[in-house]
A and B are shown apart, each in its own frame.
Chain A
Amino acid sequence: MSRIAKRFAETRASGRAALIPYVTAGDPAPDVTVPLLHDLVAAGADLLELGVPFSDPMADGPVIQLACERSLAAGTRLRDVLAMVREFREKDSDTPVVLMGYLNPVERMGAEVFAQAAAEAGVDGVLMVDLPPEESSDLTGLLDRAGIDPIFLVAPTTSESRLRHVAAAARGFIYYVSLKGVTGAQSLDPAALGARLEAIRAISELPLGVGFGIRDAATAAAVAEVADAVVVGSAIVRLAEQHLDAPEQFRAAAAALAREMRSAMDAARADTAPAAV
C-alpha cells in the first residue's frame, strides 16, 4: 500500500479529515523548507504538498506567484526540491509528500529521470497543474512504474464525462478545486461543495481533497465536514510574505495556523460524525 493510501486509511479509520498544508519549496530561502515541513507535521498535518517553483505559474494567484519568484531568486530549482524531500525523509518516513507544480521543469529534466529521482527521494504523489489526463499518458506511466501516484484536479466546470476520464487516470486522491479561479481567490461555499463531492463519490472511490479558497480555520472546519482532506496553500504562503526577514517567525506562524485548522477540523467532525467505533 502506498504511503498516501495508508495515510487516508488511517484518517478514515479515526474519523478525521486529513490536513494537507501547501508550501512553495525554497520560499523564502532554501534552508527554511525542511524544518518547516517537520513543524507542519508536528502541528497536525497528515500529508504535505510541496510546490515546485515555476517562472510562469498561470493557475496560481499573486500570493503563490510571488512565492515562486522569491524561491527562484533564492536559487531553488527542481533538483533542489527533490533534495529537500530526501532530507525530510531522513527524519520522517511516514508522512506522504506530494509535489505540485508545472510541467516544463519536469520535461526539461526529462520525465523518466524525474520519475526515478522523485521516487528515490521519497516523493509519493505528483500533481502537474497544467497537465490534464488527455496529455499525460507518458508521464503517468513513468510515475506509475516508479510507484508514485499521479494526482489530478477536478473543477466545478468539469463535466460528468470528463470526470469519468479524470477518475480513471487518477491515483492517491482527487484534488477538487473548490471554486472557479486561481489559488488564493475568494472564499468557497461549503453547502454547494457537499453536493458536488457526492457527485464525484458516485464515480470514484478515491479520497477527495478540497483546495483553493480555504483561508481560515472556520472554512477548513466547514470543508472537513464533507471532504476527506483539506488543502491549505495561499493562507500559509501569505505568512511567508509577512515574515520575509524572519524565517523562524514564519515557521511558528505557519505551525500555529495548521494547529488552529487541525483542532477546528477535528471539532467539526466530532460534532457531526457518529461516535467512532
Chain B
Amino acid sequence: MSELKQAVDWAAFPDARGHFGPYGGRFVAETLMGALDELQAVYEKYMQDPEFLAELDTDFKQFVGRPSPLYHAERLSRELGGAQVYLKREDLNHTGAHKVNNTIGQALLAKRLGKTRIIAETGAGQHGVATATVAARLGLECVVYMGAEDIQRQSPNVYRMRLLGADVVAVKSGSRTLKDALNEAMRDWVTNVDDTFYIIGTVAGPHPYPAMVRDFQSIIGREARAQHLEMTGRLPDALVACVGGGSNAIGLFHPFLSDESVAMIGVEAGGEGIASGRHSAPLCAGRPGVLHGNRTYLMEDDDGQIIATHSISAGLDYPGVGPEHSWLKDIGRATYVSVTDEEALRAFHRMTRTEGIIPALETSHAIAHVLDLAPQMRPDQSLIINLSGRGDKDLNTVARLEGIEL
C-alpha cells in the first residue's frame, strides 16, 4: 500500500550522531552534551547486555503484564463492513498506557548510572504516572513537570502521581502545556545533571532519546507482529496510531518497517480543523525546524517562534513530533493524517459502546481515522490500531462536554 521513494537500510538509522536523514541530532546547550554522551554510552552498552535485557523482560512480564493482547474487534469490524480491525491492547498495561514500557527501561538505565533523582515532563499525565510508578518502585526521588493548564484538565492523574510520592510542579510559563513542561524539565536537568536522570516520555528530544525510547517501545510492534501472524497466518495490511510526540506509533511501526506490504498511518490532532489554525498537527501542517534538542517538523510562525497548539487531548497537544516520524513522512514510508476533536470524541463513544473498551482521547484519534479507513478496505484485509491508553483519565473532560460534573 505504501510507496517508498527509495530503498532503505532500516538498521542504519539513526546514524551515530542521531540523525534520521536531515532530522534528529542533538541541539542543546553545551552543559548537557556530556550527560548525553554518557547516556548514549550506557544505552548502547546495555541494549547489548543479556543481563539487562533479561531484567527488562522480567519487568515487562511481571510488573507491566506483557505481552498485551491483540484483540480482534469483531463487532466493530462487522459494523464498518471492511477490514478486520485488531486492537493492540496497551491500555491493559500497568498504569493504563504504553508509556510504562519506556519508563521501565529508562529507570533501569538510571539505576545502572547510579542516579538518585528522576525527572520527567508530562502532558496528559500518563508518562508522569508511569515515571512516578517506576520511581516509587525503585525508591528514587521523582519530580514531574506539568503545564498548569494540563493539571486542570487531567486532575485524576495529578492525584495519582502525588499518591506515588512524586512532586508535581505546575509550569506557568508560555502556553502552560506540554512544551513548557519540557522546557522546565530541561532546565532542571541542566542544573542537577550530576545526580538526576531525565526520563523523556516520547521519541523526541536530543539523541539518544528518540532512538532509545523507540527501542523500549518497539516491544509493542514485535508482539503485535507475532500475534497477528499467529492469529491470521499473515501480516496486517495497515497499522494506525495516534501521533503527538509519536512514541506509541513508532513502537508499533518500527518492527514492521521492512515489511513493505504493511502501510503505516499516523494520526495527528486536528483540533478544531487544520484550516482553523487551532490544532496540533505539525506533520500535516507544519515545517521543519529545531526545538527541544532535535530537528523535526514544528508548528511555528514566520519568525520561527513556536505557536500555541490546541487539542482536546493533552497528550497530543504538542508543537513538535519525533524526528523519525518526520523522516518516515519525507521518504514516504508512513503517511500522516489528522482528525478533529469532534471526530475523536465520536470515535471515543463508538469504541466504548461497540466493544466495551473506553479508550484515551489520544487513542480515539487513531480510532476515528479507522472509522473512515476500514470501510474502504476488503473484509479479507486487516489493520491494527494501537490502543495506546485507557480513557479513565479523560472521564472529567468528556463528562464536562455533556454538561455533567463528576
Residues of A within 8 A of B193 (CB): 157, 180
Docked Cα-Cα span, A131 to B202, in Å, equals: 22
Docked Cα-Cα span, A77 to B302, in Å, equals: 10
Mark contacts of A183-208 with chain B using CB atoms, 8 A cut-off: 1 yes-contact digit, 0 otherwise: 00100000000000000000000000
Docked Cα-Cα span, A252 to B48, in Å, equals: 61
Is A109's CB under 8 angstroms from B33's CB? Answer: no
Residues of A within 8 A of B179 (CB): 56
Q: Is A256 an interface residue (CB 8 A)?
A: no
Mark contacts of A169-188 with chain B using CB atoms, 8 A cut-off: 1 yes-contact digit, 0 otherwise: 00000000100111001000
Is A58's CB under 8 angstroms from B186's CB? Answer: yes
Among the stretches B254-262, B289-297, B378-386, the one at the interface with A is B289-297
Residues of B within 8 A of A62 (CB): 173
Residues of A within 8 A of B26 (CB): 132, 134-135
Residues of B within 8 A of A97 (CB): none
Is A156's CB under 8 angstroms from B304's CB? Answer: no
Q: Is B187 an interface residue (CB 8 A)?
A: yes
Docked Cα-Cα span, A102 to B289, in Å, equals: 11
Residues of A within 8 A of B17 (CB): 134
Contact of B304 among A57, A58, A107, A132 (CB under 8 A): A107
Residues of A within 8 A of B302 (CB): 108
Is B31's CB under 8 angstroms from A130's CB? Answer: no
Is B34's CB under 8 angstroms from A107's CB? Answer: no
Q: Is A242 an interface residue (CB 8 A)?
A: no
Q: Is A103 an interface residue (CB 8 A)?
A: yes
Residues of B within 8 A of A79 (CB): 303
Is A108's CB under 8 angstroms from B191's CB? Answer: no
Is B304's CB under 8 angstroms from A78's CB? Answer: yes
Is A177's CB under 8 angstroms from B33's CB? Answer: no
Docked Cα-Cα span, A178 to B91, in Å, equals: 46
Residues of A within 8 A of B35 (CB): 157
| Shortest Cβ distance from residue A107 to the other chain B in the assembled complex, whole angstroms | 6
| Interface residues in B231-276 (C-beta closer than 8 Å to A) | none
Mark contacts of B155-188 with chain A using CB atoms, 8 A cut-off: 1 yes-contact digit, 0 otherwise: 0000000000000000001100001100100110
Q: Is A115 an interface residue (CB 8 A)?
A: no
Is B29's CB under 8 angstroms from A180's CB? Answer: no
Is A109's CB under 8 angstroms from B304's CB? Answer: yes
| Interface residues in A192-247 (C-beta closer than 8 Å to B) | none
- Which A-chain residue is minimally distant from B288 (CB atoms)? A107
Is A135's CB under 8 angstroms from B34's CB? Answer: no
Is A155's CB under 8 angstroms from B298's CB? Answer: no
Is A177's CB under 8 angstroms from B305's CB? Answer: no
| Interface residues in B14-56 (C-beta closer than 8 Å to A) | 17, 25-35, 37
- Which B-chain residue is minimally distant from A72 (CB atoms)? B305
Using A56-B291, A108-B289 as known contacts, say yes or no to A166 and B187 having CB atoms under 8 A apart: no
Q: Is A264 an interface residue (CB 8 A)?
A: no
Residues of B within 8 A of A152 (CB): 30
| Shortest Cβ distance from residue B19 to the other chain A in the assembled complex, whole angstroms | 9
Q: Is B306 an interface residue (CB 8 A)?
A: yes
Contact of B191 among A55, A72, A106, A180 (CB under 8 A): A180
- Which A-chain residue is minimally distant from B187 (CB atoms)? A182
Is B298's CB under 8 angstroms from A182's CB? Answer: no
Mark contacts of A85-122 with chain B using CB atoms, 8 A cut-off: 1 yes-contact digit, 0 otherwise: 00000000000000000111111110000000000000
- Which B-chain residue is minimally distant from A157 (CB atoms)? B34
Is B290's CB under 8 angstroms from A107's CB? Answer: yes
Docked Cα-Cα span, A72 to B194, in Å, equals: 34
- Which B-chain residue is minimally distant from A153 (CB atoms)? B30
Q: Is A129 an interface residue (CB 8 A)?
A: yes
Residues of B within 8 A of A166 (CB): 30
Give the residue among A55, A57, A156 with the most B Cβ atoms within 10 A.
A55
Docked Cα-Cα span, A129 to B293, in Å, equals: 11
Docked Cα-Cα span, A155 to B34, in Å, equals: 9
Using A55-B306, A180-B193 as known contacts, say yes or no to A132 and B30 having CB atoms under 8 A apart: yes
Give the residue among A72, A78, A108, A156 with the most B Cβ atoms within 10 A.
A108
- Which B-chain residue is minimally distant from A53 (CB atoms)? B305
Docked Cα-Cα span, A185 to B187, in Å, equals: 10
Residues of B within 8 A of A107 (CB): 289-290, 304
- Which B-chain residue is minimally distant from A156 (CB atoms)? B31
Residues of B within 8 A of A250 (CB): none
Residues of B within 8 A of A135 (CB): 25-27
Is B34's CB under 8 angstroms from A130's CB? Answer: no
Is B289's CB under 8 angstroms from A130's CB? Answer: no
Is A159's CB under 8 angstroms from B34's CB? Answer: yes
| Shortest Cβ distance from residue B179 to the other chain A in the assembled complex, whole angstroms | 7
Residues of B within 8 A of A156 (CB): 31
Is B290's CB under 8 angstroms from A180's CB? Answer: no
Is B304's CB under 8 angstroms from A104's CB? Answer: yes
Is B190's CB under 8 angstroms from A104's CB? Answer: no
- Which A-chain residue is minimally distant from B192 (CB atoms)? A180
Residues of A within 8 A of B303 (CB): 77-79, 105, 108-109
Is A56's CB under 8 angstroms from B183's CB? Answer: yes
Is A180's CB under 8 angstroms from B190's CB? Answer: yes
Residues of B within 8 A of A6 (CB): none
Residues of B within 8 A of A185 (CB): 191
Mark contacts of A122-166 with chain B using CB atoms, 8 A cut-off: 1 yes-contact digit, 0 otherwise: 000000011110110000000000000000111111110010001
A/B interface sample: 9 pairs, CB < 8 A: A54-B304, A58-B186, A79-B303, A104-B289, A105-B304, A106-B304, A108-B300, A132-B26, A154-B30
Instruction: List the interface of chain B (C-beta within 8 A of A).
Output: 17, 25-35, 37, 173-174, 179-180, 183, 186-187, 190-194, 289-293, 298, 300, 302-307
Closest 4 CB pairs of A and B: A108-B304, A105-B304, A153-B30, A59-B29
